[in-house]
Amino acid sequence: MKIDFLQQAIDLAAENPRKGGGPYGAVIVKNEQILASNANLVTKKNDPTAHAEILAIRRACQNINSFWLTDCVLYSSCEPCPMCLGAIYWARLKKVYFACNRFDAAQAGFDDSFIYQEIQLMPEQRTIPMLQIDIADANKPFQVWNNFSEKTPY
């Protein structure tokens, strides 16, 4: 852990509101070198997925031409929300360091903590109901995938 990288993530976050973004920053590091750093751009880009961590993961992947960030470390000004946590797993990052946590975020008016509660409910019982529908072709995409010899697994 290098405290400088975490400080950079915090500085990005603290400078961002006056640039029109949310108070979050993220830095991705490989072999002690910064691969990507981003602040939150949700409101600036009209993109609810444009969290600092998501943007840094996407940019780091572009920079190394890979959809995996094996051996990379994420430094974030705040504990990643469930969306960013999912992205961290899909990107196969090695480790995450953060400064604030989900409860600090909730106090500042961000719903991280609420989403962590919702995710543990049965899909149909959530505030945003998620309903499985019985349809004949449901498994067709996975059957096609399993039978397709030229696929790139991920």
Does 28 help bind a second copy (rule: CB under 8 A)? no
Write out the two tokens for 102: 């989900």
Q: Which is nearer to a second copy, 32 or 131 (CB)?
A: 131
Question: Total residues at the site for a second copy (CB under 8 A)?
Answer: 91
The Cα 81–Cα 48 span in angstroms is 12
The Cα 126–Cα 91 span in angstroms is 27
Does 96 help bind a second copy (rule: CB under 8 A)? yes
Does 122 help bind a second copy (rule: CB under 8 A)? no
- For residue 15, indicate whether it is catalytic: no
Q: Of the candidates 91, 113, 122, 125, which one interacts with a second copy according to CB under 8 A?
A: 91
Torsion of CA 69, 14, 115, 46, to 10 degrees: -80
Looking at residues 57 to 76 of the shown chain, list those that interact with a second copy (rule: CB under 8 A). 57-58, 61-62, 65-69
Q: For residue 34, what are the β-bridge partners?
A: 29
The residues carrying an active-site annotation are 53
